[in-house]
Amino acid sequence: MTTIAAPHTTALTTELRYLALGDSYTIGEGVDDAGRWPMQLARQLRMEGILVADPRIIATTGWTTDELEAAITAAEPLGEHDFVSLLIGVNNQYRGRSVEEYRTQFAALLWRAVGFARNRPDRVLVLSIPDWGVTPFAAQSGRDLAQIARELDAYNLAAREVCAQRGVAFVDITPVSRARGAEPAMLAADGLHPSAAMYTEWTRLAFPIAHHLLA
């Protein structure tokens, strides 16, 4: 009787490597690991036939642009990746830092992200900063909510312009954060950070762009 060997799988060697860089919005403060938007995005891509590994995430709640930069340096060598996402800046705004500083530091981070993507800007995806000013936490903070919105709009415009200069895709998730960010179902228990359901909304917006970049 002839024994036929099972076909050798190359899944582990053909998976696309994904690096996700950011802060609390990328690490998914207050949600299970599976609920993080980079994890949801990777799953959705796999469901559509693009073999992307679960991301390596370099992100911590509270990080600013310079703190993410320092963490990346401390973690190196990170090696090459097939896809890189970046979402950073809300803590710069929260701490009252200038848009000009943010633009400079964001540009440096984006340069590094492109480097991790084998110098392919077409394999990098940036998400805009959501508006935390619509959350119950913000309402109780005593902050000027309109000022928060204005400052985040300025930050996001700076990031969008830097992305356009580098040929990097920019996904604007700020409108959905404003439209639905106060809904209880869209919030983690702290009343500030997004729930997995809100991250699903971000994934819905990011997916077609990511699919286009990787297809």
What confidence tens digit (pLDDT) does each residue in 93-139 have?
A: 999 999 999 999 999 999 999 999 999 999 999 999 999 999 999 99
pLDDT at 147: 98
Please state whether the peptide bond connecting residue 7 to the residue before it is cis, i.e. omega within 30 degrees of 0.
no
Encode burial over 154-163: b for 16+ CB neighbours within 10 A, e otherwise: bbbebbeebb
Residue 13 has pLDDT above 60, yes or no: no
- Look at residue 14 in the predicted model and tell me its pLDDT: 79
Task: Give the integer Cα–Cα distance in Å for 105 and 155.
Answer: 12
| pTM passes above 0.85 | yes
> For the chain, which domains are there?
13-214 (3.40.50.1110)
